[in-house]
Structure 1
Amino acid sequence: MTRLVSSPWRRVLGVGLLALVPVLTSGAQAQTAAPAPEASTGRIAKQAGTSTRDMVAAANPLAAQAGREILAAGGSAVDAAVAVQLVLNLVEPQSSGIGGGAFLLHWDKTSLVTLDGRETAPAAATPERFLGPDGKPMKFYDAVVGGRSVGIPGTLRLLETAHRRWGKLPWSQVIAPALRVAEEGFPISPRLNGLLGMEKFLPSDPIARAHFYREDGTPKPVGTVLKNPAFAKTLRDIAEKGADVFYTGEIAADIVATVTRHATNPGDMTLDDLKAYRIEERAPVCGSYRTYRICGMGPPSSGAVAVQQMMSVLETQDMAAMKPGPDAVHWVAEAGRLAFADRALFLGDPAFVSVPVRGLVDPGYLKSRAALVSPDRSMGRAKAGDPPFQKTEFRFAPSDGIEFGTSHISVVDREGNAVSMTTTIEDGFGARIMTRSGFLLNNELTDFNFAPTEEGKPVANRVEAGKRPRSSMAPTIVLDANNNLYAVLGSPGGSQIITYVAKTLVGLLDWKLDPQAAVDLPNFGSRNGPTEIEAGTEAEAWKAALEAKGHEVRAIEMNSGIQAIVVGPNGLTGGADSRREGVAIGN
């Protein structure tokens, strides 16, 4: 199911906090100036951030500043990521929070660990969950709004798990910046105000309406100081008692009540579902690209597999000589077609589907896939391949759409440890229900396929009890030829995440752009359908040349939120996507 952004989103997705950014700490000022919007594009004009010691790149200046504060206090990359995520819960509530899930990559200078904090389906879930009385798939927002779509949240348990392994500062200290923002409030940004104004479903939730809107139903104005005493209490409880209070205590009871008592679309989550939730450590998916090694999250994410498949096709070409333009788009789009064809057939939760990851990234197999691409003509639509090392029969599962409720965090600390974490509540403002504990809940279960069968066969990504829905999130870490950290990046964007990350990798590794220039390149690619180019950018001028190669071209809104950090001989350089309000800052 594809959900495209209507044009008004473009006017708010790129508008940021401007001068409304208060300083969270008395330390040194941020090294990047407050960004200003470009009137012609709605983007925010930014320069790459630089630092000699450490850096955090996040989608909101207040969240980035919280991470920077923790790094300045001697915190680790994980400490900073915890602080960033908890502040994002407040200042970017439409995108992520403890009511959702995340994938986290951690690099400690010698080894990479990947942690799966994806949401799970309740024990009562069945494959028919999103079928209507007529046996047909429900309309998307009929499924989203309410308790039916809410998966068991994983983000907080993920943060606690990572902090116990790699944190340096006390748990209460890394929570402190978010607690301060919750208690003292923050000025509503133009972006948040604009998204609230466009939202149709959130005002129907009484708790969310009271928090975000005025009595007349209009959003609280830009600059209004928004406090969240309920979330402050939640944070104090979590600081004192840990994540268990979320999964077994008073907060857990509040989550279950919010889900099961929804007036029109209740869910079936139980306290036992929350208590049973576990973080899974997964094997990283890594592959070579020229002199680099690109690593990411394995299934249930399709991100790293698909990105690696795309990069293996692009490696057969001199991408550096192409530069941004129609020839580069042709190769990226064709690589995307092949990757998305395999993604649709083979990827799912490895606890339920035997995913042939080894075969999907096998160099010989990928060489045969790359040979299918013509330099002069688009293949139109690719078919899935036949990778080696398969153990079972796999079933067709159509692609998913675009998540607006997702964010990405990149951090490098002074010791060279790094975190790449993509975090989500799925759609913008998730299930549009807010707990009395002060946070929104995800609609992650709508990342499953609504139809449990296709052509008479069960699909790999159908709903099942305890299952994690397939994701496209692709937090990525790049190592150089000497196995040293080179880049940390990722993006929101649903299934388009895969092409956003691939584009940025080409910009960094082939075109040698600084991170800000790489993330700000026009977005383009194909999800095994039309060739998509970003509307309102220079990419629209490439349309005729692509059509001459047989591409069906669509200019659409492609609102990424890429956060990238590159390690160089003189320190760190970072970029925060100009389509959002974030910054890359360090000490």
Structure 2
Amino acid sequence: MSSRRWAATVAACLGLAGCIGAPPPHAGDRPAQPEAASGHVEQQGWSSTRYSVAAANPLATQAGYGVLKAGGSAVDAAIAVQMVLGLVEPQSSGIGGGAFLMHWDGRQVRSYDGRETAPAGVDDKLFLQGDGRPMAFHDAAVGGRAVGVPGTLRMLEIAHRAHGRLPWAALFEPAITLAESGFRVSPRLHALLRGDQHLRKDITAARQFYADDGQPLPVGTLLRNPALAAVMRTVAEHGADAFYGGAIARSIVGKVQGHASNPGRLSAQDLVDYRAQVRAPLCADWQRWRLCGMGPPSSGQIAVMQILGTLDHVVPTAAVPLQDGIPSADFLHLYTEASKLAFADRARHVADPDFVAAPAGRWSSLLDASYLRERAALIGPQTMPTAPPGQPGGQRSAWAAQPEQPEYGTSHISIVDAQGQAVAMTSTIEDQFGARQMVDGGTGLPGGFLLNNELTDFSFAPTDAQGRPIANRVQPGKRPRSSMSPTLVFDRAGGQLQMSAGSPGGALIIHFTAKALLGTLAWGLDAQQAIALPNFGTTGGPVLLEAGRFPPATRNTLKTRGHSVIELDLTSGLQAIERRGGGWFGGADPRREGIVMGD
């Protein structure tokens, strides 16, 4: 639909009371957020000329900066950053979880898959109760049942072998030093500890993070983690094999299988058998840019590019200016409708590619211009009550759509080194504090690392009411579908790297990342301004707006078009580094604690 036709249609519809439709399904739902809000600190952005690192905590950013300053590569810096994040931001990521990493070496893009896998002993009824109904989320997530085989260390090790310049062991030193000498509990960590109802049930975690009276450690408390320091020192000396075997592996398995009320099925053999993978990146052209991200088992790149591509078939996004510095109701309607279509495709088609074939034989079929044009034709002036999944390549899918269920948190790192190599890496333990199980790695020392609950990213129900299988159901050795969207952007004409970006945020990672890309690439904002824009999105039901950031007129206009609107904290954690003014300019999300450093 042309922009002129669209404007005429909207004008006509707004003049007719009969155009106002019924609220869509799930209108009363208030989606759970991956991590609670903990304040808002305005940021101005950071400029540099040679290299830059953006991460979710100042101590982690500082570790990466030190590596870059010492001549390390982007991957070297990412390892140092991730080890510190697992210590100081344990609610979001760590060595007990998984990650996706996009890498640019100046010639080609590679994607590294460190996603967790399901243990060999599970089946597709893992999250079903005795009566056949799916378990409640935290009944499944807390304990050993949902723990997948961690992948972060294996992935980082193979990336380091290909792209590292400094010794592996040296990259662990900043985190080991901090773990031994201690770091100050940040306001965000304190707030999340205070609000969590499950972490203190684990004796090891309670001793690490809470006082004897059950209260979380106060802001500014010097917190040491000698067990994690010892584990990292062992991995630094002996490589990732030391994590996937020996005392560390035995402690993981013992914790998972020995949980009193919710044991899991992860075994020592599952750890031995884990393999990170190097996959072909999924790249797509949009306007004057080429955007590269993770293909399945992540749904992030597909969904982001479907949204952006579908929008351009309705009205060019560059022609939709911000109103008073924020997205207009007109744009939010279009964006939400395009998002519903993308999420419908995601629920039907996307899962681990080692288990589920791509539609029409290739995942890019979901991004074909002809297919997105066909999908865009479904968008009108009123909201779709239910967005249907499409048939890319004209082929009917045998899969059932996955019902909507919660997805939770992560952390993101963006880095550009002095040689022009770049990383966009998103890592996770899934829910806030993961499975709420802390492992000391067999050291017998206080502290340790948290295990993921990543298996809850599978569909709890293996089939629909008609018995048709769901693509993202639980299967042994399978990687659960993700929304993580680490993204590298290139100028199509010259092939020059333009940006590294990504965010935490569960299923809303897709929208946070899309917002940053729209802000920088279509609307002319710098990375910090784009990150600071109010958040918005949908997972297929109501329009979600960041609380206190949109005027009443926006909400009212959306409602006249049939949308249900929910305002809530949408705590993104965007990090981005873009080429700007002959150097680099980095932005960090004011909703979290991250900063950018560079020279």
TM-score (norm 1): 0.92
Question: Which residue is 2:36 aligned to?
Answer: 9
Query: 1:402 and 2:417 equivalent?
Result: no
Aligned to 2:375: 369
- Residues 399, 485 of structure 1: alpha-carbon distance in 2 compared, 3 angstrom cutoff: farther
Cα drift, residue 409 of structure 1: 0.5
Q: How does 1:234-383 map to 2 (within 5 A)?
A: 234-316=231-313, 317-322=315-320, 323=322, 324-356=327-359, 357-374=363-380, 376-383=381-388
The residue type paired with residue 367 of structure 2 is V
Q: 1:511-556 CA deviation, whole Å, 9 max, x = no partner? A: 1111111011111122221111111213655101112222222212
Aligned counterparts of 1:50 and 1:100: Cα–Cα separation in 2: 32
CA spacing shift, 1:461–1:534, aligned 2, 3 Å:
same
1:431-485 alpha-carbon deviations (Å, 9 max, x no partner)? 0000012100000001111111112212111111111111111111111121110
Partners of 1:151 and 1:265 in 2: CA distance = 14
Q: Is the 8 A contact 1:119 1:469 kept in 2?
A: yes
Q: 2 CA distance for matches of 1:554 and 1:201?
A: 27
Q: Please point out which of 485, 489, 503 is paired with 1:491.
A: 503
In structure 2, how many angstroms separate the alpha carbons of the residues matched to 1:529 and 1:449?
18
Residues 68, 389 of structure 1: alpha-carbon distance in 2 compared, 3 angstrom cutoff:
farther
User: 1:44 and 1:237, CA in 2 relative to 1: closer, same or farther beyond 3 A?
Assistant: same
Cα displacement (A) at 1:165: 0.7
Quote the residue 1:207 is aligned against.
204
The residue that corresponds to 2:74 in the other structure is 77
Read off the aligned partner of 1:9 and give its amino acid letter: A
Instruction: Kindly indicate whether residue 487 of structure 2 is the aligned counterpart of residue 476 of structure 1.
Output: yes
CA distance in 1 between counterparts of 2:565 and 2:54 reads: 32
Structure 2 CA distance for partners of 1:419 and 1:8, relative to 1, 3 Å: closer
CA shift for structure 1 position 109 = 1.5
Please give the residue correspondences for 1:213-224 in structure 2 after superposition, counting only pairs within 5 Å.
213-224=210-221
Determine which of 528, 532, 541 is the counterpart of 2:544. Answer: 532
In the TM superposition, residue 403 of structure 1 has moved relative to its aligned partner by: 0.9
CA distance in 1, matches of 2:80, 2:236: 12
- After superposition, give the CA deviation of every residue in 1:211-241 in whole Å (9 maximum; x if it has no partner): 1111111111111110111011111101110
Unmatched 5+ stretches in structure 2: 1-25, 442-447
Give 2:587's match in structure 1, choosing from 556, 575, 579: 575
- Secondary structure in 2 aligned to 1:458? coil
Asked if the contact 1:205/1:432 (under 8 Å) is kept, the reply is yes
What is the TM-score normalised by the length of structure 2?
0.90
Q: Give the total of aligned pairs.
A: 555
Asked whether the equivalents of residues 187 and 225 of structure 1 are also in contact (C-alpha less than 8 Å), the reply is yes
State yes or no: 1:447 paired with 2:457.
Answer: yes
Q: Does 1:420 align with 2:424?
A: yes
Matched with 1:91 is 88
Q: CA deviation at 1:253?
A: 0.8
- Opposite residue 382 of structure 2, the aligned amino acid is R
Distance 1:3 1:352 in 2: 32
Contact map agreement 1:354 1:391 (CA 8 A) in 2: no
Which amino acid in 2 is paired with 1:522? P
Secondary structure at the counterpart of residue 331 of structure 1: helix
Where does residue 477 of structure 2 map in the other structure?
466
Matches of 2:544 and 2:452, distance apart in 1: 28
Structure 1 residue 400 displacement after superposition: 3.8
More displaced stretch, 386-395 vs 331-340: 386-395
* Local SS of the residue matching 1:453: coil
1:518 to 2:530 alignment: yes
- Could you say if the C-alpha distance between residues 386 and 145 of structure 1 is closer, same or farther in structure 2, counting changes exceeding 3 Å? same
Does residue 110 (structure 1) correspond to residue 99 (structure 2)? The answer is: no
- AA in 2 matched with 1:329: L
Query: For residue 26 of structure 1, what is the aligned residue in structure 2?
Result: none
SS of aligned partner of 1:164: helix
Q: Distance in 1 between matches of 2:171 and 2:257?
A: 32
Q: Is the 8 A contact 1:100 1:154 kept in 2?
A: yes
Large movers: runs of 4+ above 4 Å: 5-8, 389-392
* Matches for 1:34-183 after TM superposition, within 5 Å: 43-183=40-180
309-318 vs 223-232, which deviates more?
Answer: 309-318
The answer as to whether partners of 2:349 and 2:397 remain within 8 angstroms in 1 is no
Offset of residue 392 of structure 1: 5.9
1:88-130 superposed Cα distances (whole Å, 9 cap, x missing partner): 0010000000000001100111210001110000000010111
**Contact 2:430 2:454 (C-alpha < 8 Å) held by counterparts:** yes
Contact 1:400 1:495 in 2 (8 A): no
> Measured at CA, do residues 8 and 139 of structure 1 come closer, stay the same or move farther in structure 2, by a change above 3 Å?
closer
Question: Match of 1:452, as an amino acid?
Answer: P
Task: Indicate the residue corresponding to 2:519 in structure 1.
Answer: 507
* CA distance, structure 2, for counterparts of residue 105 and residue 382 of structure 1: 31
Contact 1:359 1:390 survives alignment (8 Å): no
Residue number in structure 2 paired with 1:434: 438
Residue 384 in structure 1 maps to residue 411 in structure 2:
no
Using the TM superposition, give the Cα deviation of residue 557 of structure 1 relative to its aligned residue in structure 2, in angstroms.
Answer: 2.1
1:364 match: secondary structure: helix
SS in 1 for 2:145: helix
Deviation at 1:6, TM superposition (A): 7.5
Aligned-partner SS, 1:262: coil
Q: Secondary structure at the match of 2:205?
A: helix
User: For 2:393, what is the secondary structure of its paired residue?
Assistant: coil
Alpha-carbon separation, structure 1, partners of 2:564 and 2:264 = 41
Give me the whole-angstrom Cα distance separating, in 1, the residues matched to 2:155 and 2:378: 40
SS in structure 2 at match of 1:532: strand
Does structure 2 retain, via aligned residues, the 8 Å contact 1:130–1:451? yes
Say whether the 8 Å CA contact 2:119–2:477 is kept in structure 1. Answer: yes
Contact 1:3 1:401 in 2 (8 A): no
Residue 81 of structure 1: CA displacement? 0.4
* Contact 1:125 1:465 (8 Å CA) reproduced: yes
